[in-house]
Amino acid sequence: MTPALSQANGAILAKKDDINPRWYPSYHLAPQAGWMNDPNGLSWFDGYYHAFYQHYPHAPVWGPMHWGHARSRDMVNWEHLPIVLAPEGAEDKDGCYSGSAVVDGDQLALIYTGHKFHGQPCDDNLFQVQCLATSRDGVSFQREGMVLDTPLGVHHFRDPKVWREGEQWFMVVGARVDDIGEVQLYRSDDLRQWEYAGVIGRADADMGYMWECPDFFPLGDQRVLMFSPQGMAAKGYANRNLFQSGYMTGQWQIGGEFNVEQPFQEMDHGHDFYAPQSFETPDGRRIVIGWLAMWESPMPEQADGWAGMLSLPRELSLSAQGKLRMNPVKELESLRGEPRPWSVSELKDQAVTVETHAEAMEVCLEWDLSQSRAETFGLRLGKGASIHVDSQSQRLVLERDYPEFGLCGYRSVPLPAGDILSLRIFIDRSSIEVFVNAGEYSLSSRIYPAMDDRQLTLFSQHGQALVHQAQAWVLAD
């Protein structure tokens, strides 16, 4: 282990037992201490799922990026492993930025962005290059240096996603070219020598100045281009976060252009979901995990010695209309305790407490929209969070109200068509993830309830609401 890695891992060992656990997640992957952002290198290798992530081990703030590492047999129970990359080479002296992992024979290969300044930190002195590190055991990695240099005249060039197709390797990289976001394509025979193969996608005038964390994969009979655009303006209910994460679908063949059939759509409609990355499981499922936080947003857990977590793993599918659906992976059901039916069928201008302390819980809740006339009805967590129907706007709303932390406001989606509104809700100590009508929409947000403010309450205001079905499970960590 290099001195930089020893120092980084030593910092975690020194700090991890001192964090305040009040908001530390029960069943989401989070750093043992320090800072976490983008998921990296999601992969299956040597009998384990591997999740790497952007990490600063020395403090719960963004700093020179390292790669943290955890592995799991089931995508649910994670084992923390030593940090694998630290900024210590000429090519990554100012940070080991996001990237991906692929299995190459008997090796796991990490392809990541080396971040470096030539002189004082500023855009004109910034150079981002793509680097390689390999491992035979999936734990200790050998750095192999730069494999793709910064294109001439480009400074923001990062977040490589690599995959194999036919006899070649392909890589997409996010770029900022003349203040317009684009995704560039490269190909290689050996992961070490890369040649430019064109542009997969480029922003229109209102689609942002930088496309981060691109991913490009087949799903059903479509190709999905997933990315996180920076610089998109809000429009009505859409694009309300500082930065977005979304996708386009279309057709692509090697050597051809990506023909977009479904234009950009947001992937998650809550306050906190960024930089998603996908991978394929051994049984052929396409899984995506994102960062459950948002840039330049308050993170109260920083006062507790840690910051950031990853979303639940979600299985992707395509609807008949060609839109992505996201549903929690089936493995999460292994966390369930005994079912707890809620014996509430009708609410009329009332609130009924159904759980007194929801700290780690899954809820399945169905509302009968055809028989519900209340102006507002839904589920409230303590005083600060709710997922409710606004009948006047005909939208499903996820609202949080923690003014003491500067985290207030709501996000929403249209009410799905049909008489039954089906919600699958995952509550952890500082997060809520809502999946609507079998993955038609999802809304994910961080929450910060006090320890004595975690009761769950069903409510209706100004009219009647009918519960079609409701039950919950306590989730064991």
pLDDT band with cut points at 50, 70 and 90 for residue 205: confident
- Find the catalytic residue in 17, 38, 190, 453: 38
Between 451 and 476, residue with greater pLDDT: 451
Q: Based on the number of CB atoms within 10 Å of its own CB, is 240 exposed (0-12), middle (13-18) or buried (19 or more)?
A: middle
Q: Based on the number of CB atoms within 10 Å of its own CB, is 464 exposed (0-12), middle (13-18) or buried (19 or more)?
A: middle
Residue 473 near residue 369 (C-beta atoms within 8 A): no
How large is the greatest C-alpha to C-alpha distance in the chain, in angstroms?
67
Query: 6 CB contacts (<8 Å, ≥6 apart)?
Result: none
Q: Is 38 a catalytic residue?
A: yes
Helix (H/G/I), strand (E/B), else coil: 302: helix
Residue closest to 180 by CA, chosen among 225, 230, 224, 245: 230
Q: What is the pLDDT of residue 124?
A: 84
Helix (H/G/I), strand (E/B), else coil: 240: coil
Q: What is the pLDDT of residue 224?
A: 98
Compute the distance between CA of residue 475 and CA of residue 363 in angstroms, rounded to an integer: 10
- The conformation of residue 234, written as its DSSP 8-state character, comes to P
How would you classify residue 404: left for phi > 0, otherwise alpha for psi between -120 and 50, otherwise beta? Answer: alpha
Query: How far does CA 393 lie from the centroid of its chain?
Result: 28
Compute the distance between CA of residue 78 and CA of residue 249 in angstroms, rounded to an integer: 32
Compute the distance between CA of residue 414 and CA of residue 212 in angstroms, rounded to an integer: 27
Average pLDDT over residues 274-285: 98
Decide if pLDDT at 251 tops 80: yes
Provide the residue type at 427 as one letter.
I
What is the number of other CB atoms lying within 10 angstroms of the CB of residue 106?
10
Query: 166 CB contacts (<8 Å, ≥6 apart)?
Result: 254
pLDDT band with cut points at 50, 70 and 90 for residue 400: very high
310: which strand partners? 291
Q: In the numeric block, which tokens belong to residue 270? A: 């809550």
Compute the distance between CA of residue 99 and CA of residue 277 in angstroms, rounded to an integer: 9
State pLDDT tens for residues 97-147. Answer: 999 999 999 999 999 999 999 988 888 889 999 999 999 999 999 999 999
State pLDDT tens for residues 67-88. Answer: 999 999 999 999 999 999 999 9
Compute the distance between CA of residue 447 and CA of residue 234 in angstroms, rounded to an integer: 23
Mean pLDDT lowest among 17-21, 22-26, 122-126, 275-279: 122-126
Q: Kindly write down the DSSP assignment for every residue of 188-211, as one continuous string.
A: ESSSSSEEEEEEEEE--TTS-SEE
30: which strand partners? none
Question: What are residue 287's phi and psi, to 5 degrees?
Answer: -115, 145
Compute the distance between CA of residue 388 and CA of residue 34 in angstroms, rounded to an integer: 34
Stated as kind and residue range, the H or E segment containing 48 is strand 48-56
What is the number of other CB atoms lying within 10 angstroms of the CB of residue 60?
23
State pLDDT tens for residues 305-346. Answer: 999 999 999 999 999 888 999 999 999 999 999 999 999 999
State pLDDT tens for residues 56-67. Answer: 999 999 999 999
Residue closest to 207 by CA, chosen among 221, 225, 187: 225
Percent of the chain with pLDDT over 90: 96
Q: Kindly write down the DSSP assignment for every residue of 1-33, as one continuous string.
A: --HHHHHHHHHHHHHGGGS-GGG--SSS---SS
Strands 274-280 and 180-188 turn out to be unpaired
Helix (H/G/I), strand (E/B), else coil: 131: strand
Provide the residue type at 403 as one letter.
P
Residue closest to 407 by CA, chosen among 398, 418, 416, 420: 398
Compute the distance between CA of residue 450 and CA of residue 429 in angstroms, rounded to an integer: 10
Average pLDDT over residues 31-48: 98
Beta strands in 281-406 (DSSP E): 286-291, 306-307, 314-318, 324-328, 340-341, 346-348, 351-355, 361-368, 376-381, 385-390, 395-402
Query: 71 CB contacts (<8 Å, ≥6 apart)?
Result: 48, 49, 50, 51, 78, 79, 81, 138
Compute the distance between CA of residue 438 and CA of residue 414 in angstroms, rounded to an integer: 15
Q: What is the pLDDT of residue 321?
A: 86
Q: What is the pLDDT of residue 125?
A: 87
State pLDDT tens for residues 134-169. Answer: 999 999 999 999 999 999 999 999 999 999 999 999
